[in-house]
Amino acid sequence: MARSAGSGGKKAARAGGEKETTGKPVRPTPETSGKPASAAPRKRRAVAESAPPSDPAADAAPSPDNAPAVASPEVQLDQVASTRSGSAAEGGRAPQAMADALAQGSSKATARKLAENIERIETLGKRLMSALSTRPMPNPGIEAPGPDLLMTAANAWMKTLSEQPARVLETQVNYWGDTLKNYANVQMAVARGQAAADHDDASLDKRFSNPLWQSHPYFNFVKRQYLINAKALKDATQNLQLPDDTARRRIDWLTSQIVDMMAPTNFLATNPDALERAIQTEGESLVKGLENLVRDVERNGGDIVVSLADRDAFTVGENIGTSDGVVVHRTPLYELIQYKPATEQVHEVPLLVFPPWINKFYILDLKPQNSLVKWLVEQGHTLFIVSWRNPDASFADVGMEDYVSAYLDAMDRVRDLTAQPRLNVVGYCIAGTTLSLTLALLKQRGDDRVNSATLFTTLTDFSDQGEFVSFLQDDFVNGIADEVERHGLLRAKLMSRTMSFLRPNDLVWGPAIRSYMMGEMPPAFDLLYWNGDSTNLPGKMAMQYLRGLCQRNAFAAEGFDLMGHKLHISDVTVPLCAVTCESDHIAPWKDSWTGVAQMGSKDKTFILSESGHIAGIVNPPSKKKYGHYMGGSDFTHGHQSWKESSSFAKGSWWPRWGEWLAERAGRMVPARDPGQGLYPAPGNYVHERAA
């Protein structure tokens, strides 16, 4: 539907044959805005016909046969853009001019709709102000980098300015030169009536996929200037002489956040997609966007947290997380689910899965087509999975030792229920880290209950903090400590926000544009629904994890003190399979490999799946989507050498892991029926949402 500025330059079908227009943007004229025109079918291009003089009274009350001509959305967008650029110097008159352009050709029905929308906006505005007023006093420590980082950057800038003034001057001259060139180019394009701007490579950025970013001089100028500004800001920070790599990575992250935040796509007046939608819907999209914003603010206690998925589209246990099973054990911290067998015989050694408690277990059981739970049961495993409690403030003093104790208790229950002395275990993400601590503890106690262990996207060596480096420095962690002191919890909302700003264009700005500026409802997408169903962390456990494991890297260094033992990564000696994901930004595969390489096991297998933290794990064979690398126990020559020597296979890693697991699962025995249990899967704890 997008048109260039020259769309108004086509011949208009006018009585008497007027001259062809130039390529300049269309301006309202008496013929197109004030006088009645003969009714004509609406076409893709604006078509207007002059009419003979008529009675003023008839002009004031258009009839179906005497209605004003309505320009197409493309032409109206040209008018909006032209009005925007032409009246920029007129200050407060610009919004009214834009409104006049949008309202050109309005009918009585449109006027009524406009009045209704204005009334809705007034009501929504009051609700928005009321919701925002409920936001608690912000905690500065978690809102932005601390003053120490800003002071470091300022000192580095002054040092660069004093020691390398020519370099700073060169950067400034290049910036102003690029800016003037961009301004001159757009002026010449407008003067020539040129419908298209020069080609550039920014179209590769999906934010600028609308053809108007390339073809319309106004939008192309805005886009190019944004890219010039972004490059200048990044160049300026790259020139800074910072004290260490940590400061460099933090400054680079902060710079990227500013650059992404200031993108023209994030503002209505400079987003052609949003303007087109507003014109096509006669402003309805903007009202719906405001409704979406108010809904999100009301749901999140005054905070603006954009919804990524339709919360009403799914119900756990009905159309998501539906595998057949029962809860066989319950404690204040977790429920233990046993799934019903799908085969007449099962492997003798049971399988127990520990999912992360940052989110909920049904990521492994979204729907039958991609359910790892269903697949494992079909492979003949007696499968148990833990469903963690979503803690409230009463769990403030629950620590890592309580989670390790829960691991041991769940293992005991599985052994009792299956009459087996040993079992195979799986840990995913933070649950894999805690499983590694548990395995080290069992080793020091001389307990051999674990037959084999599998780690999904697990970090055990935090020497490289990766993309989390900005969130693992003292200023931010101290802010989290204040948050824990205030609430007794590391709240789900804060963790979700932190994760989102690792990918802000995909998880913050893009969804906000679609929801608030385009007026779209969040999609009914099971993975995004699960992503939004996050949980709180107990305060004590969160600080032990952040201070002891992430900041001090104690498990891989001097040892992590827990339950009277100093646990070390080398104490993990059971047969081990680690599954990582190639583009995982939360648990980078190279860092996972570094941890596994230090483990004491003599039987280690490493699998590297294509894709990211979730899609690489939830990768069923039926999809035939992502391939994987698999290698053995040679961890002596670095991760790159391992990858080069490993074997690559197309498709899911599930079958190859299934073979590895079956070799360690014992003989086949009659299937174990869990009976009635306490209540059906997925249990009760999974339905508790974070406040």
Q: Which residues are tagged catalytic?
A: 429
Q: What is the DSSP string of 675-689?
A: -S-SEETT-SGGGPP
> What phi-psi label fits residue 385: left (phi over 0), alpha (psi between -120 and 50 degrees) or beta?
beta
**Beta-bridge partner residues of 630:** 607, 647
Nearest partner of 277 among 81, 518, 80, 74, judged by Cα: 518
Cα distance from N-terminal residue to C-terminal residue, the chain: 43
Residue 47 phi, psi dihedral angles, 5° rounding: -125, 125
User: How big is the CA angle at 483 (ends 479 and 485), to the nearest 5 degrees?
Assistant: 115
For residues 524 and 309, is the Cβ–Cβ distance under 8 A? yes
Nearest partner of 449 among 482, 497, 416, judged by Cα: 416
Residue 191 phi, psi dihedral angles, 5° rounding: -65, -35
CA 434 to chain CA mean position, Å = 25
Give the SS3 label for residue 454: strand
CA–CA separation, 281 and 289 (whole Å): 12
Identity of the amino acid at 497: R
Q: What is the DSSP string of 545-571?
A: IIIIIIIS-TTTTT-EEETTEEE-GGG
Q: Which residues contact 212 (CB under 8 A, 6 or more apart)?
A: 2, 3, 4, 77, 219, 272
Q: What percent of the residues of the chain are helix, what percent strand, and what percent coil, each to the nearest 5?
A: 50, 10, 40
Q: How many CA atoms lie within 13 Å of 27's alpha carbon, on the beta-carbon side?
A: 8
Q: Which helix (H) or strand (E) holds 536?
A: none
User: What would the 3-class secondary structure string for 407-421 be?
Assistant: HHHHHHHHHHHHCCC
- DSSP alpha helices (H): ranges in 52-146? 56-60, 73-86, 93-103, 108-132, 140-143
For residues 152 and 475, is the Cβ–Cβ distance under 8 A? no
**Burial status of residue 132 (CB atoms within 10 A of its CB: 0-12, 13-18, 19 or more):** middle
Q: How many CA atoms lie within 13 Å of 125's alpha carbon, on the beta-carbon side?
A: 7
CA 9 to chain CA mean position, Å = 42
Q: Which helix (H) or strand (E) holds 53?
A: none
For residues 390 and 491, is the Cβ–Cβ distance under 8 A? no
Q: Which helix (H) or strand (E) holds 605?
A: strand 604-609
